[in-house]
């Protein structure tokens, strides 16, 4: 875990409430029934999997790629790869972990593409944050019933966090978004990223420290 903020600097508690994540209990894959049916050729089951996960995968791709059109294309490519590879999926990990790993691989390829780099526009990573129910640490920046000043402050904080996320390295942004936005466990993040558990832990600790550094000075 990263070191606590230095004395004299008060970070908003909601911003860093995820610094010490609570242990996550192991649960069965909630997609097991649909995955089994889809592997047997049930197209309706596959459509249910798409409907269930496309929003989360889009938000992940949007933050990683920084462009709406590329994110949409990346999600379409992701589900095409999932459809083609579903027969080889044996359920060693949750379906969402496997799908997230494919989405990350697709996004990495797009980021590495020279044509994509040239075509990408510089846009905020925060598109649609106000309606993003899976972004816990950003959602908590807003009071349940904020007044005008509180609402404005919440928007300011979200923009600040999004700018800070954009400054992170791709590796740090990936692990932070997986563990904090999507709520993956360290083990699931390791499976999705294709790295060791210890690598996830060390990257996440460095990502949190880097994010705090980018946020430093914003709040007195």
Q: What pLDDT shows up at residue 153?
A: 59
The pair of structure tokens assigned to 211 is 């994010």
Measured CA to CA, the distance from residue 89 to residue 34 in angstroms comes to 13
Task: Give the largest Cα separation in the chain, rounded.
Answer: 60
Task: Please name the residue ranges forming H helices in 41-178.
Answer: 43-65, 68-85, 95-112, 114-119, 136-139, 148-167, 170-176
| Residues 179-218: tens digit of each pLDDT | 987 889 999 999 999 899 999 999 999 998 888 888 876 6
- Domains within the chain, CATH numbers bracketed: 25-123 (1.10.1740.10)
On the 0-12 / 13-18 / 19+ scale of CB atoms within 10 A, 98 is: buried
Can you tell me which residue has the tokens 């990263």? 2
The helix or strand, by DSSP H or E, that contains position 37, with its residue range, turns out to be helix 32-39
pTM of the model: 0.67
Which residue positions in the chain have pLDDT lower than 50? 1-27, 114, 116, 122-144, 219-220
Q: What pLDDT shows up at residue 161?
A: 74
Q: What pLDDT shows up at residue 189?
A: 92
Q: What pLDDT shows up at residue 218?
A: 64
Measured CA to CA, the distance from residue 80 to residue 47 in angstroms comes to 12
| Residues 163-182: tens digit of each pLDDT | 888 888 889 999 999 998 78
Q: What pLDDT shows up at residue 163?
A: 80
């Amino acid at each position: 875990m990263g070191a606590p903020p230095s004395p004299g600097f008060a970070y908003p508690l909601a911003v860093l409430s995820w610094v010490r994540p609570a242990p996550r209990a192991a649960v069965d894959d909630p997609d097991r029934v649909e995955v089994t049916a889809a592997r047997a050729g049930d197209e309706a089951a596959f459509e249910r999997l798409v409907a269930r996960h496309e929003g989360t995968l889009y938000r992940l791709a949007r933050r990683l790629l920084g462009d709406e059109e590329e994110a949409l294309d990346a999600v379409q490519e992701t589900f095409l790869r999932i459809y083609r590879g579903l027969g080889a999926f044996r359920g060693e990990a949750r379906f969402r972990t496997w799908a997230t790993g494919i989405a990350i691989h697709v996004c990495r390829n797009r980021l590495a593409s020279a044509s994509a780099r040239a075509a990408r526009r510089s846009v905020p990573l925060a598109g649609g944050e106000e309606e993003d129910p899976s972004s816990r640490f950003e959602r908590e920046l807003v009071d349940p019933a904020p007044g005008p000043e509180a609402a404005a402050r919440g928007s300011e904080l979200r923009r600040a966090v999004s700018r800070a996320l954009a400054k992170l390295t791709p590796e740090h942004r990936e692990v932070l978004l997986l563990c904090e936005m999507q709520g993956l466990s360290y083990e699931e993040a390791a499976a999705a990223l294709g790295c060791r558990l210890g690598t996830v832990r060390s990257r996440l600790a460095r990502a949190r420290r880097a994010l705090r550094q980018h946020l430093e000075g914003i709040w007195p």
